A and B are shown apart, each in its own frame.
Chain A
Amino acid sequence: MNHSTSRLSLALACLFSVALTGCASSQGSKEEQAAKVSVDPNPYPSTYTPIAGETTVITNATVLDGVGNKYENAMVHFADGKIVAVGEDLEIPENAKVIDAKGQWVTPGIIDNHSHLGVYPSPATRSHNDGNEITDPVTAEVWAEHSVWPQDPGFGRALAGGVTTLQILPGSANLFGGRSVVLKNVPDRTMQDMKFPDAPYGMKMACGENPKRVYGEKGGPSTRMGNVAGYRQAWSDAQDYMRKWERYEKEYADGKNPKAPKRDLQLETLAGVLKGDILVHMHCYRADEMTVMMDVMQEFDYQIGTFHHAVESYKIADKLKENNVCSAMWADWWGFKLEAYDGIRENIPAVHEAGACAIVHSDSDLGIQRLNQEAAKAWSDGKRAGLDIPMAEAWQWLSANPAKSLGVFDKTGSLEAGKQADLVLWNGNPFSTYTKAARVYIDGGLAYSLDDDDSWPVSDFELGQVGEGDVK
């Protein structure tokens, strides 16, 4: 959708309706319809502008295209912000900048679908504590984008690690934590300047220990069964809310003059999920709890897009595949709470091997800087356990699968022709501790270059302070 147009037409419709209403009241007619009330699904549109790029051909590289293919001594051609072609023998356009990448690797940019950068930024002071609206177990009405502080130095650090797109989620204190926002990792003045154009919204939900710990002594839920009752009641309320709007729409279409239901921002987001417009990202560790949630999903006819953390996905990989739910996982975090006690190093490859969707995520301002190493650990641990997954396939955990989880795989997440030129040139094999991102391109623009310290992002917060522009 072209947002500026839709906003304009809405405004015009209002003007028109004011005129009509005025006319109607002057004539005293009861048959005239009031202006139809409708809701703008995108009131805070992206103002992102890509960094200007140039037609570029990277040559002699080892290339993982992100959809399972590996090319040796290959070329990657991108122009006008889009991937043009990947192959072993491409024609180099006359005006192209050619980068000889002998010994280097090219991959799609890393996509982290679980970050709290900007909502739990550095410095991690109380005044920056903007990730959890801990006032009610159901806060589907809050939007993470209204907490994002674009001056978080963490964005720049993640960029140096090859992260080109990231989802900022509310925290996991609440059953329904609110909406997420997807950002292009080009740190800029405002959240809107970073917002991924036309990415669908996500909504955060949380299972297990966190909600019951936070609300156990604040009116509940205090148990896992209380959590589930909370989800079910909220979905029921959302269904009721949808029926009210459907009735309004129908009566209006029938030429009647119905009163529009009062807008409820909480139920509006939940209804957005039930309609399939908003993707569900659910913090859930235990296999049995994830399975209960998939039952609730069937009961209320919505789709859980991704279980996050999903420490026990390896126990139910078959069920996750069956229900088409992704798992976003760490390589090796475990034990910090009981629901994380059964973490194993082979979780990610086990999920992949079962044919379910596996994602490497960070949930950490340090972890996000080396997600390639997280994938490398999972890949090698899987291999030793007999889950022999080629690197080219494993890279799906870092780009294609998170892109699917965020609903942007038609735009980014692989080096397929026509997609946004979000890619990383690594100074070696990215499945190694010693390899770094040499260059990071976002929409074809050079957003980071390891050997050019002028290209290293410096946030307002760091400007004029100790450490400004240092090796980060």
Chain B
Amino acid sequence: MKKLALLITASLLSAPVLAEKVAITGGKIFTLAEQGTLDSGTVLMTDGRIDRVITGTEVPQGYRVIDASGKVVTPGLVGSMTSLGLVEVSSSAGVVDSSVESTPITRTGAALDVSYAVNPDSSLLGVTRIEGMTSAATSVTYTDNLFYGQGAVITLSGDAPVLKPRAFMVVNVGESGANDTGGTRAALWVTLENALAEAAAADSDLSPTQDWHGLNTRADVKALKAVLSGDMPLIMEADRAADIRQVIAFKKRHNNINVVLMHGVEAWRVASELADADIPVILDPEYNLPGGFDQMGATLANAARLEAAGVTVAVGMDTHNIRLATQHAGNAVANGLSYEGGLASLTSAPAAILGIDDQLGSLAPGKRADVVIWSGDPLEVTQVAEQVFINGEAIEMRSRQTRLRDRYLAVQEEQARRPTHYVRPD
């Protein structure tokens, strides 16, 4: 009973103010949906959902109007791959829930579940959301296990950050994965295939008393069932063309599995095969150096060539500075990606990849009202998010960083200096 009461309170807290109707008018609207781009339009939102997007600025009655004339309006950005909410300070300071050491609950790593670990008060969420990113995939990023566990999709505002727990699974099938699996791809792929085959063959509800001596633990098996059914995307990290061809062959062997390629430095070399296999790619478009022998083909043209072949491209892999995904996408556009492709790589593409495009990544009726008003072109380094809406609410455009800035700007302006700890800027 007590538990139930708590749940009800939590859901009330996370709900937007009831019957709040907001209209964002006059902006150039990129819907990233069927409506395409409106040179001057209005986004209508009610109770945290998009009602609809209309041409022009005539607002139906009952809406609070926010003028966005001369501005650009987009869906809130979706971070393709981060550890947001799991990490405060990466090195020597904590909190770090994105790094896994050996633990008995898992042998292949599949069972791990970061949805328990997300801290909505992390300063990173505040720093990130005021720059237009409203949701993100969050995952373990360091492990010796085969799988990185079950990642989650989170919203960057509110006390109940997890939008979709157990949303995806990551596996590295490149150099790093091989290093953690006997030091060779010859062991890596056999391990991966056997882990999946074992999960497929196991009873769907392995009882705790049942004898079990698997490559996976019971909890791993349970997680992998969702991968095998295609409900949980399997995000496979690889760079060299030969490894990516293995990913494509894997997809052919396991038609049900929802395969995504991540990093994919040489993906452009097998672009049409990726398109044929319907495998989308999450990548860093600025990566153009041979950081190792698996990345000899690194090029700034990667994103553009993939797009030209018909591959869905998502951009944005980082944690503290995932906010710079707009710059990364802009540089992809500077190197041949279409402008719409650049915006899609930050919104509709990651939403589709993560299986949450029914809620996020576009401005269309019924979608979650995560909306950003930009000072101008979001991909331009000199432009910024001026107002961000998350779940229909205009968020406070302040963060720990803006507080530090304002304190020290005030300190510089003051004639008679006070001890800084007493300076509390407005």
Give A residues with C-beta under 8 Å from B: 122-125, 153-154, 157, 209, 213, 314-315, 317-318, 332-338, 341-346, 350, 353-354, 365-366, 369-370, 373, 376-377, 379-381, 384-386, 431-436, 461-462, 465-467, 470-472
Q: Mark contacts of B393-418 with chain A using CB atoms, 8 A cut-off: 1 yes-contact digit, 0 otherwise.
A: 00000000110110011011000000
B296 contacts A376, C-beta separation under 8 Å: no
Complex partner residue of A122 from B289, B384, B409, CB under 8 angstroms: B289
Please tell me the size bucket of the interface on B.
35 or more
In the complex, whether B81 has a CB less than 8 A from a CB of chain A is no
- Interface pair A123/B91, CB less than 8 Å apart: no
Q: In the complex, what residue of chain A is closest to B413 when comparing beta carbons?
A: A386
Q: A466-B266, A472-B300 are in contact. Are A385 and B405 (CB under 8 A)?
A: yes
- For window 86-118 of B, CB contacts with A under 8 Å fall at 88-93
Asked if A153 meets B321 with Cβ closer than 8 Å, knowing A385-B405, A470-B299, the reply is: no
Give bound CA distance, A340 to B88, whole Å: 12
Residues of A within 8 A of B408 (CB): 314-315, 350
Within 8 Å by CB of B331, from A338, A433, A472, lies A433
| A263, B323: Cα distance in complex, Å | 52
Could you tell me if A334 and B401 are in contact, using CB atoms closer than 8 angstroms?
yes
Across the A-B interface, how many residue pairs have beta carbons closer than 8 Å? 143
Q: Which residues of B contact A157 (CB under 8 A)?
A: 288-289
Q: Which residues of chain B are within 8 angstroms of A381 by Cβ–Cβ distance?
A: 384
Indicate whether B290 reaches chain A with its CB closer than 8 angstroms: yes
- Report the separation of the CA atoms of residues A157 and B331 in the bound assembly, to the nearest whole angstrom: 14
Can you name 15 extra interface pairs (CB under 8 A) apart from A315-B408, A433-B330, A467-B297? A122-B290, A125-B292, A153-B290, A317-B412, A318-B412, A335-B89, A335-B124, A338-B89, A433-B380, A434-B334, A461-B290, A467-B296, A471-B299, A471-B301, A471-B335
Is there an interface contact between A470 and B327, defined as CB atoms closer than 8 Å? no
- How many angstroms between the C-alpha atoms of A471 and B405 in the bound complex? 39
What are 15 A-B residue pairs whose CB atoms fall within 8 Å in the complex? Answer: A122-B291, A209-B92, A335-B90, A336-B90, A336-B320, A337-B89, A337-B92, A343-B401, A353-B412, A377-B327, A377-B382, A381-B384, A462-B290, A467-B290, A467-B297
Is B65 engaged at the interface, CB distance under 8 Å to the other chain?
Answer: no
Q: Are A124 and B324 in contact (CB under 8 A)?
A: no
Q: Which of the residues A432, A466, A472 comes within 8 Å of B288, measured between beta carbons? A: A472
Is A376 touching B290 in the complex (CB atoms < 8 A)? no
In whole angstroms, how far apart are the Cα atoms of A45 and B335 in the complex? 40
B285-328 contact mask (Cβ, 8 Å, vs A): 1 or 0 = 01111111101111111000000000000000000110110010
Contact A153-B334, Cβ < 8 Å, known A337-B90, A433-B327, A462-B296: no
Q: Name which residue of chain A comes closest to B339, CB basis.
A: A434
A153 and B289 form a contact (CB under 8 A): yes
Asked if B382 and A431 sit within 8 Å, CB to CB, the answer is yes
Tell me whether A123 and B290 are in contact in the complex, defined as CB-CB below 8 angstroms, given that A209-B92, A466-B297 are known contacts. yes
**Which residues from 212 to 232 on chain B have a C-beta closer than 8 Å to any C-beta of chain A?**
none
Chain B residues with CB under 8 A of A467? 290, 296-299
B contacts, CB < 8 Å to A: 88-93, 123-124, 127, 241, 266, 269, 286-293, 295-301, 320-321, 323-324, 327, 330-331, 333-335, 379-384, 401-402, 404-405, 408-409, 411-412, 420
Nearest chain B CB to A163's CB is how many angstroms away? 14
In the docked arrangement, what's the CA distance between A434 and B382, Å? 11
Q: Which residues of B contact A314 (CB under 8 A)?
A: 405, 408
Contact assessment for A332 and B330 in the assembled complex, using a CB-CB cutoff below 8 Å: no
Chain B's closest residue to A380 (CB) is: B382
Whether the Cβ atoms of B92 and A338 lie closer than 8 Å is yes
Instruction: For the complex formed, measure the closest distance between the CB of A315 and the CB atoms of chain B, giving whole angstroms.
Output: 6
Shortest CB–CB separation between residue B419 and chain A, in angstroms?
Answer: 13
CB-based contact A338/B286 at 8 Å: no
Min Cβ gap B118→A in Å is: 17
Q: Output the residue of A317, A335, A336, A366 with the most chain B CB within 10 A.
A: A335
The answer to whether A345 and B90 touch across the interface, beta carbons within 8 angstroms, is no
In the complex, what residue of chain B is closest to A374 when comparing beta carbons?
B381
B323 contacts across to A, CB distance below 8 A = 332
Q: Which residues of A contact B321 (CB under 8 A)?
A: 332-334
| Contact partners of A332 in chain B: CB under 8 A | 321, 323-324
B-chain residues with CB within 8 Å of residue A462 when the two chains form the complex: 290, 296
In the bound complex, residues from chain B placing their C-beta under 8 Å from that of A333 are 320-321
User: Which residues on A sit within 8 Å (CB–CB) of B335?
Assistant: 471
Docked complex Cα distance between A315 and B404 (Å)? 9
Cβ of B290 and Cβ of A213 under 8 Å apart?
no
Q: Indicate if the CB atoms of A123 and B404 lie closer than 8 Å.
A: no
Compute how far the CA of A377 lies from the CA of B405 in the bound complex, rounded to whole angstroms. 15
Q: Give Cα A432 to B383, complex, Å.
A: 10
**Whole-angstrom distance from the CB of A125 to the nearest CB of chain B?**
7
Q: CB distance B405 to A365 under 8 Å?
A: no
* CB-based nearest A residue for B384: A384
